[in-house]
Amino acid sequence: MRLIAAVDQNWAIGKNGRLLVKIPKDQRLFMEETMGKTLIMGRKTFEDLPGGQPLYGRRHIVLSRDPNFAPRNVTVCRSEREALELLQGIPDAELCLCGGEEVYRLFLPYCSTADITRVDYSYDGDRFLENLDHSTEWELTMESEEESYFDLTFTFRHYERIAGGKSRMAAV
């Protein structure tokens, strides 16, 4: 499974149920990289999608404990276990973990790669992703040249789970 996220200097990912920043190049890359894939996300992340609707050309698996949450063209799972059972048989490369905080926390152990857009700014975030730079289980294997969007600078980073720190997905 592949984790995809945009983080600030403190690995914040959101505030008040919204993304911290929307960078057009990052959004285009997300759209390209996830086309035809299965996206795993929480309800609030799903509701933050354009129009609160599924993205075209992708399968959406949304975790929610809300029994009334039942959007069209989306598979809703009520638990981590239910989602993992549903993911059986889908190739690891076809699975993209898209947030938010609780979903990242639950499913990070099942990820083998992570693609992070790191914004060189510190926001007043209230939702965070584990800092992979401080983890003994992850290795930074690629970082792009620094790019800018107005006054923001950012890089694209690729992390891989260190050998021996095998993702749990293989065991499911």
In a domain, residue 70? The reply is yes
In a domain, residue 172? The reply is no
What is the average pLDDT value for the chain, to the nearest integer?
Answer: 94
Q: Tell me what the mean pLDDT of segment 135-162 comes to.
A: 97
Judged against a pLDDT cut of 70, whether residue 165 lies above it is answered with no
Q: Determine the structural domain holding residue 127 and report its residue range.
A: 2-166
Note the pTM of the prediction, 2 decimals: 0.93
More confident residue, 37 or 163: 37
Structure confidence at residue 16 (pLDDT)? 93
Structure confidence at residue 89 (pLDDT)? 86
Judged against a pLDDT cut of 70, whether residue 106 lies above it is answered with yes
CATH number at residue 98: 3.40.430.10
In a domain, residue 139? The reply is yes
Q: Are 110 and 1 in contact (CB under 8 A)?
A: yes
DSSP 45: H
Q: Tell me what the mean pLDDT of segment 52-68 comes to.
A: 96
- Would you call 118 exposed, middle or buried from its count of C-beta atoms within 10 A (0-12, 13-18, 19+)? buried
Structure confidence at residue 163 (pLDDT)? 73
Q: Tell me what the mean pLDDT of segment 31-46 comes to.
A: 97
Q: Name the domain count of the chain.
A: 1
In a domain, residue 18? The reply is yes
Element counts in the chain: helices (H) and strands (E): 4, 12
In a domain, residue 171? The reply is no
**Closest C-alpha to 97, from 89, 142, 126, 87:** 87
